[in-house]
A and B are shown apart, each in its own frame.
Chain A
Amino acid sequence: MMLIVLGVFVCGTIWTVLFSFTNIKILPIFTPKEWIDGFVGLANYRRLFNTDRWMSCPAITHIGMADWRFTCTGALPNMVTYAVLSIAIAVSLGFLLAVLMDQKIRAEGVFRTIYLYPFALSFVVTGHVWAWIMSPEYGLQASMRQLGWDSFSFGWIADRKMVMYAIVIAGIWQGTGFVMALMLAGLRGIDEDIWKASKVDGIPAWRTYIQIVIPMMKPVLVTIFVIVTSGAVRIYDLVVAITDGGPGISSDVPSRYIYQNFSANLGQSLSASTVMLVAMAIVLIPWIRMEFGKKSQA
């Protein structure tokens, strides 16, 4: 059973990579002859990166880290923006919440359920709720204005430049509770005597967290990083539910791009998939290294 699953998984992946180098138009083709006949080298990739919808960097000559997001547009940069921001914020917020929770507060169970609740929802539900909250006509902006705050304005969802940040907010709302739950489990796994020893040593609590506890939580942190990042890399449903890629195509993401090009432009879709595959592999490397590193040490 394991072998069949693994076989399908590996074959599918190899097939995707191989045929991303061909001018394939229709499914299914499987033979080496078809592959050789249709071989076009890196043409799909060249075309992909020349497509504005995928990625467009008009000011590529003066890319600075600070204004990178505003320089490049398209599905791939959108995904990177989403991934970097949502991971950074969800992980730090999740950690802070976990630390607060770790102070043995009363009614911890209630809080944990509340924080975890969003994670139990489908991205589609989250997306629609947030689309509604952030919609200028019905949501937060309308409510605030009704309450008399006339100058209040929150229209990120309709703003080409800000729409990705609106999606980031929804993603954080959904993911932070999960990160917190994992972090809390990690914190609880720390031997209580470590805390006692650090107190006797006179080490302030925040330094104990940063210099002793966090390094001890490395396995949990890597796992969190891999889960959250792979989630961000293949983000799809949240975007579809909130904006469906709009306004225009300003909040398009790779998964959506691949899906939409699948029938019209199969070769390019496959090469985009391969790009995502590589991105995912990069994310997984620290995890793999950790797992295998452990074995070689033992």
Chain B
Amino acid sequence: MHSVSVQNLSLKFGAAEVLKNLNLDVEEGEFIVLLGPSGCGKSTLLNCLAGLLELSEGQIHIKGKNVTWAEPSERGIGMVFQSYALYPQMTVRGNLSFGLKIAKLPKEEIEKRVQRASEILQIGPLLDRKPGALSGGQRQRVAIGRALVRDVDVFLFDEPLSNLDAKLRSELRVELKRLHNRLKNTMIYVTHDQIEALTLADRIAIMRGGIIQQLDAPQTIYNRPSNLFVAGFIGSPAMNFIKGTTVGGGKAFKFGDVTLNLVGYEGGAIMDRPKAIIGLRPEHLAIVDEAVPGLTIPAVVEIDEPMGADSLVWLEAEGKQISVRVPVEHRPVAGTKVHLKVDIAKSSLFDETSELRI
């Protein structure tokens, strides 16, 4: 039994189809991150799961129960919003307990749950304050607490950390991970921050235009993106793409005067393709002095961007810009002629026409 199961979900706003025949199965206790560019339908999907939007087509099951038409409060979900959405005139305690009071839970039970949530989230000292007197991080903890006291199977997060500054964001990110380890609930988490996605997720669903492009573990998404969009979207700095052809029955990739040996590539049948693209991550390229036939690309250093421990070096090869990540102490001097060593096992090949990974 899946914790959450979405079947053939479609959603239209008027004529615009925002979610298109979408399927998603989430395992019990899994942390799923929905990642994608702005406007791709992440929030819309989350709101559908929460019951805040009516589907045009399809079904949603939570814990085996068909909740397609159930009220949000009857779905066994708790939700946390980017804007916190706390009730400003109530104290933290009021915020946590209001829903439970409406549900007519016994007083002792409410008290017990509020205590537990405030202990887990360390908001005990704040219980009698109003949201206006809290910092952003504290507010978001309270918002998480409000989902926590509901004692639900599934947590839904819509960009919960986006309103926080960078330092708080990384702190709360770790805390969320700890929370997930402790509670072992199913969590579905929307973000457009790939660091959050890569660090938190058991599996990431990359979305674009209302369609899930790839649903896989972070490492798989990173190392073996299933199409050009995913490859370009994940990874910062972005992957280098070089257009060329595959030759010799799929044994080599050729662009300009450069030929790369494809032996050792992990993927499907390469064959000879007149239009192919090779994707090389800046961190999987190395700058070397000597050319090795079939393994290196000759290049000229243009500029570099030091980023603390690493430096992003931009080079020109065959009229193309290629970026390489090197330790900051190995920065080459601009204008130097060097060679870029390719790690074929970690590279990705795409068919330019279908945009799919080979």
Give Cα A194 to B52, complex, Å: 12
* In-complex Cβ contact of B102 among A191, A194, A207 (8 A): A207
Interface residues of A in 170-212 (CB under 8 A from B): 191, 193-194, 196-204, 207, 211-212
Q: Which residues between 271 and 295 of chain A lie within 8 Å of chain B, taking CB atoms?
A: none
**Docked CA distance A198–B89 (Å):** 14
B81 near A201 with CB under 8 A, answer: no
- 1/0 contact string of A197-237 vs chain B (CB within 8 Å): 11111111001000110011000000000000000000000
CB-CB nearest in chain A for B78: A200
Does B34 have its Cβ within 8 Å of any Cβ on chain A? no
* Closest CB in chain A relative to B91 CB, distance in Å: 13
Q: Is B103 an interface residue (CB 8 A)?
A: yes
Contact between B85 and A203, CB atoms less than 8 A apart:
no
- CB-based nearest A residue for B80: A197
Which of A193, A201, A203, A212 interacts with B82 by CB under 8 Å? Answer: A193
Q: How far is the CA of A267 from the CA of B88 in the complex (A)?
A: 51
Q: Is B229's CB within 8 Å of the partner chain A?
A: no
Kindly state the separation between the CA atoms of A228 and B52 in the bound complex, as whole angstroms. 37
Q: Which of B257-289 contact A (CB under 8 A)?
A: none
Residue of A nearest to B94 (CB): A211
Residue of B nearest to A216 (CB): B88
Tell me whether B72 and A199 are in contact (CB under 8 A): yes
* Residues on the B chain within 8 Å of A216, using CB: 88-89
Please tell me if the beta carbons of A201 and B83 are within 8 angstroms of each other in the complex.
no
In the complex with contacts A194-B87, A212-B87, A202-B73 CB distance below 8 A:
yes
Report if A215-B102 is in contact (Cβ < 8 Å); known contacts: A200-B50, A200-B78, A202-B71: no
Is B62 located at the chain interface by the 8 A CB criterion?
no
Cβ-defined contact, B102 with A204, below 8 A: yes
A230-274, CB < 8 A from B: none
Minimum CB–CB distance for A268 against chain B, Å: 46
CA distance A196 to B79 in the complex (A): 9
Q: Cβ of A197 and Cβ of B85 under 8 Å apart?
A: yes
Distance, CA A198 to CA B50, complexed state (A): 12
Q: Does B233 lie at the interface of the complex (its beta carbon under 8 Å from any beta carbon of A)?
A: no
Shortest CB–CB separation between residue A46 and chain B, in angstroms? 46
Report the minimum CB–CB distance from B49 to chain A (whole Å): 11
Contact A196 B146 (CB under 8 A): no
Q: Are A199 and B85 in contact (CB under 8 A)?
A: no
Looking at the assembled complex, report how far the CB atom of A113 sits from the nearest CB atom of chain B, in whole angstroms: 24
Q: Which of A194, A196, A200, A215 has the most CB of B within 10 A?
A: A200
Chain B residue at minimal CB-CB distance from A194: B85
Instruction: State whether A193 touches B73 (Cβ < 8 A).
Output: no
The verdict on A202 contacting B72 (CB below 8 Å), with A196-B50, A212-B87 known, is: yes
Which residues of chain A are within 8 angstroms of B85 by Cβ–Cβ distance? 191, 193-194, 196-197
B43 to chain A, nearest CB (A): 10
Among B50, B89, B150, residue most surrounded by chain A Cβ atoms (within 10 Å): B89
* A199, A202, A211, A216 pick with most chain B CB within 10 angstroms: A202
Query: What separation, in Å, do the CA atoms of A191 and B52 have in the docked complex?
Result: 15
Known interface pairs A200-B50, A200-B72, A212-B89; A193-B83 also in contact (CB < 8 Å): yes
Closest B residue to A215 by beta carbon equals B89
State how many angstroms separate the Cβ of A293 from the closest Cβ of chain B. 13
Please, which residues of chain B bring their CB within 8 A of the CB of A193?
81-85
* Nearest-Cβ distance from residue A280 to partner chain B, whole angstroms: 29
B62 to chain A, nearest CB (A): 13
Query: How many Å from the CB of B160 to the closest CB on chain A?
Result: 11
Q: Are B89 and A202 closer than 8 Å at their CB atoms?
A: no
CA gap between A201 and B103 in the complex, in Å: 9
B136 close to chain A: CB less than 8 A: no
The answer to whether B89 touches A201 (Cβ under 8 A) is no
Query: Are A201 and B52 in contact, with the CB atoms below 8 A?
Result: no
Residue of B with least CB distance to A199: B72
* B322 on interface, CB distance cutoff 8 Å: no
Q: Which residues of chain B have C-beta atoms less than 8 A from A204's C-beta? A: 102
Q: Which residues of B contact A194 (CB under 8 A)?
A: 85, 87
Closest A residue to B84 by beta carbon equals A193
Which residues of chain A come closer than 8 Å to B83, judged between CB atoms?
191, 193
Provide the bound-state CA to CA distance between A207 and B73, in Å: 15
B47 within 8 A of A: yes
**Shortest CB–CB separation between residue A34 and chain B, in angstroms?**
54
**CB neighbours of A198 from chain B (8 A):** 87
Is B207 in contact with chain A by the CB < 8 A criterion?
A: no
B244: Cβ under 8 A from any A Cβ = no
A201-B146, A202-B72, A215-B89 known; A196 vs B99 contact (CB < 8 Å) = no
**What 1/0 mask marks residues of chain B from 122 to 156 whose CB sits below 8 Å from any chain A CB?**
00000000000000000000000011001000000
Chain A residues in 8 Å Cβ range of B99: 200-203
A residues near B, CB below 8 A?
191, 193-194, 196-204, 207, 211-212, 215-216
Supplied contacts A199-B51, A202-B102, 14 more A-B pairs, CB within 8 Å? A191-B83, A193-B81, A193-B83, A196-B72, A197-B79, A197-B85, A197-B87, A199-B73, A201-B98, A201-B150, A202-B103, A204-B102, A212-B89, A216-B89
10 A-B interface contacts by CB (under 8 A): A196-B47, A197-B79, A199-B52, A200-B78, A201-B98, A201-B150, A202-B102, A204-B102, A211-B87, A212-B87
